[in-house]
Each structure stands twice: as C-alpha cells, then as structure tokens.
Amino acid sequence: MDVSAFGDRRRTNLHQLAVRRGLYGVLDRAFREAEVPWTDYDHEDRGDGVLMILPPEVAKSTLVETLPAPLVLALQEHNAGHPTEEHIRLRLALHAGEIHYDDHGVVGHAVNLAFRLLDAPSFKAAHARSGGLLSVITSAWFFDEVVWHSATAARHTYHRIHVTAKETDTTAWIRLVDGELALVDEPPPVSPRPAPHQLPVSTRQFVGRDAELTRLTELLTPRRPGTGAVIAAIDGTAGIGKTALTLAWAHQVRDRFPDGELHVNLRGFDEQDPLDPDQVLDSFLQTLGVHPQAIPAGHDAKSALYRSMLAERRMLVVLDNARSSDHVRPLLPASPVCLVVVTSRNRLDSLVVREGAHRIALDVLSDAGALALISERVGRARLEEDPESTAELVRLCAHLPLALSVASARAANQPALPLRDLLGELRDERRRLDALDLGEPDLNLRAVFSWSYSVLPPAAARLFRLLGLHPGADIGLAACRALADDGAQAALRKLTSAHLVLEFRPGRFRLHDLLRAYAAELAATDPERTAATARLVGHYLHTALHAERQILPHRYGRDALIGGRALGQTEVADAMGWFTDEHPTLLTLVGFAADHGLPGHAWRLAWACTTFLRRTGRWSERAAVHRAALAAAVQADDRLGEATSRRNLATAIARLGEIDEAIQLLRRSAELYEELGDEVGEIKNHLACMRVLSAQGDHIEALKHAERAWSLVQDRPDRLGHADALAALAEQLSALHRNDEARRLGTRAFDLYTAIGHLEGQAYVLLVLGDVERALGRPVQAIEHYQYSQSLDRRLGDRYWIAVSAEKLAEVYPDDRDRASALREALATYREIRHPAAERVAVRLTALVASTGVAQAPAGETPAY
C-alpha cells in the first residue's frame, strides 16, 4: 500500500514523519479490527508505504471483505485530528503468488506485479479524481479467484482497467471504496492489436451433419449475464469427423463474433505429446495483446488474466482434440458472450456436469451421408456406374468419415480403375487397415486408432485387445467378464467413454468393423490369447447349456451329453432373450471353437442351440451349425460328438427336404451309437429316423423305428423316454389310420408329459390326438386339441408349431371366415421364419378366398368351441 502524494511539496519533513506515524497507527487499528495480526507477519517499510506478506493460512477474502471499512474509518479519524498537510489517502494493491527470500528481503514476479499495479497510471488517476480516502486495485487472478466468489466483497463496484507499466501489460480491477467511479478515465491499451482470426481452413467437401449443425447454431442464443460462457462438447470415436464439423460450423458463424476466434489443436490424441494448457495460455494471451514479459508466471494467474481479457469480448474459442475435461478447463472463458467448442475422443462428462457444457455425440454417417461424402470426392457419375460396389465400399469403411475419405482419395487418384477393383484389400479384414493408409500419420487408420489405444489405462487396453478375439458382431457384459475377469465393467466404462466401444443398449456392446480389425491385430500377438479364448468359449458353452435347460427343462438324453452338471435356474424369458441376442455369435462360435482346439465345445454348442433354432424357425442356420459341429467332431475323432451331430444334422436337413442325405447320416450315427454302447443314443437315433421317414411319407418304416425305440426304452426307469416313444408310436399309427391305437398311446404319452411338466411334449402329442379326433369324425374335439396345443406353443415361443397348429385348425373349422383367419396366421408365421410351407399355405388361402369371398377375422380373434 502507498500514501498518495506523500512527496507533496507542502509536506515538510515533520509532516511526513507524522504521516508515517499515522499510517502505521491506521494499519494497526484496521488490521486488528479485521482480526489479522499483521505485525506478526512479514512486512517491509517502503518509505511512503508498506509491503505486507501474509501467509497462506490468512484468508485472502478478508482483504476485500472486512478490511476496507475499518481502513476508511481509521483514515477518517486520523485526518479529522490532523492538519491538511498530514492527511492520508491510501492506494492498496492486492495480488497472490510465489515469492522468494534472500538476505535483503523478498523478490519475485508476484511482488513486481503488485508494485506495477500500485503504480499504474490509470489507477493513480482514478484514485486522484475520486476524492476518496481508499482505492483498491487487484490483479486479474485475485479478482477472478477471490473477489468474484465472495458474497460480501461488493464485486459489482469493481471496474476493469488496462495496466501498462514498464514491462507489464495486463488487466486489473479497481474499486474506489469511498469515491466516485464516474470520474475514472480508462486509457486504451498502448499497442492495440487487430481481432485474431485463427480458424484453420475448413474442407470444402464437408457433407451431412445437419442435425449437429442446427444444435450448434441454437447455442448462439444470447444468455443472461452471470451464466458463464456457452460450451459445446463434441465427442466421438477416432475419424468420426469432429474437427470437420467444428470448423465447417465455425466458418459459417464467424461473423457472429466481432472480436475474433481463437483456435488450438491440443493434441490430446496425437503422435506428439499433448499441449500443456500453460503453453496455450501463453499463446492466447500474446495473441490478445499481452506483452510476453507481462504474462504471469503462475498457471492460475495466467488463466485468470486470460478470463479477464475475454470478459467483455464476443469471441469464439475452438479447443480441438482435448484429452479430458481438465485439459481444457484452464482455457474456458467466463464471459456469457463467448462460445467455446471442445472436441475430444473421450466423453467429457465432467465438463457437462460442472460447467454445463452441451454434449454433442457424433455417430458414423448414415448411408446417404456416406454416399454424399464419396460423391464429393469421386463424382456421382462414377458411383452410379456401380452402385453395388459403392454400397459395399461404404459398408467396409464402417460408415466412418475418415475411412471413407481415405478410400475415396485412393479412388480419385485412379480415375480409370473401377470401384470394384478397389475392394479386394478392404474385403480381407487382415489387410483392411493397410488399404486405408495414405502414408501420412493422420491419414493412416491404424495410426489414428493407436493414439486412442495408447492412452488407455492398462485394464481397459487389455479388454480392448481381447475383444479382438471375439468372433461376433456384438458382445454382452457377461462375455466381457469371461475375457477380462471382474474388472471388465470398469474397463468397459473407459472404452465407451473413449468411443472405442459402443454400448448400443444396456449391457450390449460392439466395435465398428475397423476398430474390431485393429483390436484383432493387437490380440494376435497377445500372450493371453489362448487362455482368453478358452475362457470365452467356455463361458458361451456353459451359458448356452444353462439357457437351453430353461427353455426345454425336459430333454431326453441331456445328461449323457453334458455330464449332468447343475446349471442353475433362470426365467424362460431371459433364456430366450439371451439366445436371441447371442445366436449369431453362437453360430460363428462353433467353427471358432473347433479352429482353436476345442472341438468338444464346438459340437455341444451346436447341440445347445437346437431348441432355440427349431422354435424360431431358423432351419438353414440350424443345418449350418450342425454341419460345422459335425466337421469339428470328425476332425477330433470324437465319436459321441460325431454321432450326436449326425443325428441333429439329419433332423435339420429333413425339414429342408434333404431326405436322402438325412437317412445316410442317421445310418452312420446308428453305427456309432452301437459301437459306443450308447443305448440312449440309439433310442434317440430311432426317434430321429422316425421323424425323417415320416417327413418322406414312409410311415410304415417310420413306425418300425418308433417300435424299436419303444422296445429299447420300455424297461428303463425313464418316464420322459417312455413318453417320447409312445408319442412317436401314436403319430405313426395315426398316419396309418390305426386311430384307436393311436388315441390310446397318445393319451398315455400326454399323461406322462403332463405328470413331468413337459409342455413341448404335451403340445406335440395334442396335435397327434387332434389328428385322431378329426379322422374319427369328431371336429369339435379335434379343434380343442389343436387350440390347446397352439396355446402351449405360444407360451414356449415356438413359431413353427404355432403355424402348424393354425394350418390344422384351418382344416377343421366349420366357418369359412375362421378358416381364412387361421390360414392367414399360418402364412404370416411361415413367412416370418422364412419356411417353404408359406407357398403351400398361400395357395390354399387364395383358393379359399376365391371360392368363398371371405374376409379375415378381426385381429386377435380366436374361434372358441
């Protein structure tokens, strides 16, 4: 602090001595009332003033909240008791920072700045004209970090000024405690600079992103004072087009920011080290006109000065490629007339929560957007020459803007080359990333992905690598845990935040194709890959067996195949949902397990999928998965696996009309079961032969196999085996018009199925009993059986048998409208599951409508009898 006009010629030496005594008296009284024992702390006499150094434990807010009032009061009382020549008016400068001691006192940039503020001509002029006894000047840092956050420091009475003194060129804030602010003249900066315009060039081929552009433009709506700067946080995976979007929009709206634009690439994900915010602050402050020697040394002081410089400027600040929220926080202005756009590969959740940033998450381009991007670079005519290759190019580039741009550049560089000739390398997943490399780091997909991968924590990096082993397009949380143990959930949070993995619905994750190819490259050299593969396949097998038992609690011969393991209990709905989510992966996993030395897992996985595939009408997939299982079992010389897979494959292809091959498969499986001495296997093989021959229409031979199955099982203490054999006998006897026998055996089978709670068996045998009642001329009873069977299949979710029941009901309903309604239901279901029976039903329905002119029954209406 300093006494104004201490050297006034009217003051004699005696007057100056009185002023100095008065100054210390004023300070002692005022600081005592503010409860700051200043004499206990370091202070230096400066002749006409005092330098006071307060330790960190003294609250800085005291100096602007409780000290000014007692200082003014003490000055008033001193002046009232002394002549004019001994009156005291004070200028007080406040700053905080690092200081250093030597044998002669204290030094440091912070000390220098405090004195420059105290002697600033604009401050001295304002104080002189105010007529008041006390004026205060604070550094920009002190104002932003102390005054601004105080409820009682009268922050609204402070006025921003520009300070130029010696090598100092900075912003400060003044308060004329008991004077008139209107008398202050703020001189302009000594060296005014033009508004900065730092935006890099925007690509002329920018396309799409209309929704995101609109959202950004909506942020330009003026905000009320005191709400801080508007912040847009744009996040998305590597190569998604965050920078392109930002620059395209920024150039569109730059005229809305008359004070200019600041831009920096923070290199948060780059081949070089990230930029330190301190470096950026130095650059920004110099751009804003601060002399290099006037920039504070401390990080917080720089940030405060930066905010002060932008306090009343309408500027656009673009902070590109940030590593995290903390990476950009020191670079955020506080002015509501500034707008900040931050881009990052990481989700900046902290920025959204603490600073109220508006998050804009970028996804890959739509088909239309991807085609527009390629067209801008290659030309629409060339795309229209080969639309199929164009569509495949978009798919192989995963709709990712950077990949599409690189592929388009290759196409543009070879204008005579057809697009289809560019697809060879892209089709090979092992070479795809090589094909998307133009020789520069930022145009090399592998390099760009590596910058995201390299900054991951070890656990997240491990899981990302191991995800490259997974053969499916998406993966559930439980499978991730199988790969990476209990740390998977935390690792997934890191990966989704980094946009390396997408959680497209709760608990389901996927990598786009190019990231999966990169992860697979990393996994190929991971020493953990063999153990992780075994864990992954083991998880899927165990869970598939678990889920299969829930959707079909009673399955004859199960324990012989899976060793009778107790697999726990879950709801049927959960098991069907799991199979629905996982069946594409399970089908791929059969061959994957075989290729990785796990043939026993391979054929058991196929076996576990059978019920789900059958109920949902996936006939071709069912046949394909059992072919893969059979190949694995044969290669491993696993005779039980071979026999089981041959039998399952035969049943599957028989549904597709491939009867001859099915019979050959069953003959060989019969031989294998006999060699193994597996009587249960033999029984099941006879039942499979019965189904195949029945599908061929050879009911006499089918009956022989049903009888052989019964002869093998009747002496076994196995009610399920008895029921299966009796139902098979009843079905073939019904087909041979031996209806009384069929009815008796079918009823026995139904009672056994009911006793053990086997809904699928009940539904099956009810169809047989319905056929018997219809043959006996009892349509009402037949309808009851068919409807009951259909209701059970609806509970089970077995769409194929729902359609079969509907067909059978159409044959016995007396009313034409009901018959048409049943046929329409059968037709819709067959078409949904892509079953060839749809064509047959369509012909029947067309004939019925043509002959009767009936309309469909109201939706959901079921005839009751």
> 181: pLDDT confidence band, cut at 50, 70 and 90?
low
Give the up-direction half-sphere exposure of residue 328: CA atoms within 13 A in the CB hemisphere: 35
Query: Above 60 in pLDDT, residue 773?
Result: yes
Give the pLDDT score at 444: 87
Instruction: Tell me which long-range contacts 148-151 makes (C-beta under 8 A, separation of at least 24).
Output: 150/61, 150/64, 150/65
pLDDT at 567: 41
Beta bridge partners of 159: 174
Listed in sequence order, the residues at least 6 apart from 577 whose beta carbon sits closer than 8 Å to its beta carbon are none
How far is residue 648's CA from residue 631's CA, in Å, rounded to a whole number? Answer: 13
What's the gap between Cα 67 and its chain centre? 53
Checking if the pLDDT of 414 tops 90, the result is no
Q: Find all residues with CB under 8 Å of 468, minimum gap 6, and list them.
A: 516, 518, 519, 520, 521, 522, 523, 524
- Per the prediction, the chain carries an average pLDDT of 89
Under DSSP, is residue 322 helix (H, G, I), strand (E, B) or coil?
A: strand
Residue pair 171/163 in contact by the 8 Å Cβ criterion = yes
- What average pLDDT does the segment 782-795 reach? 96
Length in residues, the chain: 865
Q: Copy the structure tokens of residue 649.
A: 């494959």
Q: What integer pLDDT is reported at residue 575 of this predicted model?
A: 85
Does the pLDDT value for residue 801 go beyond 50?
yes
Is the pLDDT confidence value at 311 over 50?
A: yes
- Reduced DSSP (H G I as helix, E B as strand, rest coil) percent helix, strand, coil of the chain, to 5: 60, 10, 30
Within 8 A by CB and 6+ apart from 93, the residues are 1, 2, 114, 115, 117, 118, 136, 137, 138
Tokens of 71: 């200082």
Residue 184 has what pLDDT? 44
Confidence of residue 749 (pLDDT cuts 50, 70, 90): very high
The backbone torsions φ and ψ at residue 319, rounded to the nearest 5 degrees and listed phi first, read -110, 95
Mean pLDDT of 793-800: 91
Q: Which residue has the tokens 């959204």?
A: 352
- Give me 825's structure tokens: 């239901």
Q: Is the pLDDT of residue 572 over 50?
A: no
The pLDDT value given to residue 36: 86
Spatial neighbors of 72 by CB under 8 A, at least 6 apart, are 133, 134, 177, 178
The predicted pLDDT at position 619 comes to 85
pLDDT attached to residue 192: 54
3-class DSSP assignment, residue 508: strand
What was the pLDDT predicted at 191? 47
For 240-257, give the DSSP string: S-HHHHHHHHHHHHGGG-
Note the Cα 359 to chain centre separation in Å: 13
Contact between 490 and 459 under an 8 Å Cβ cutoff? The reply is yes
Share of residues in the chain with pLDDT > 90 (%): 61
User: Which pLDDT belongs to residue 707?
Assistant: 97
Q: What is the pLDDT of residue 565?
A: 44
Residue 720's pLDDT band (boundaries 50, 70, 90)? Answer: very high
Neighbour-count burial of 681, counting CB atoms closer than 10 A to its CB (0-12 exposed, 13-18 middle, 19+ buried) = buried
For residue 685, give both structure tokens. Answer: 């093989």
pLDDT tens-digit profile of 221-258?
876 555 678 999 999 999 999 999 999 999 999 999 99
Which is more confident, 155 or 608? 608
Neighbours of 508 (CB within 10 A): 14
Amino acid at 552: L
Asked if residue 775 lies in contact with residue 763, where contact means CB atoms within 8 angstroms, the answer is no
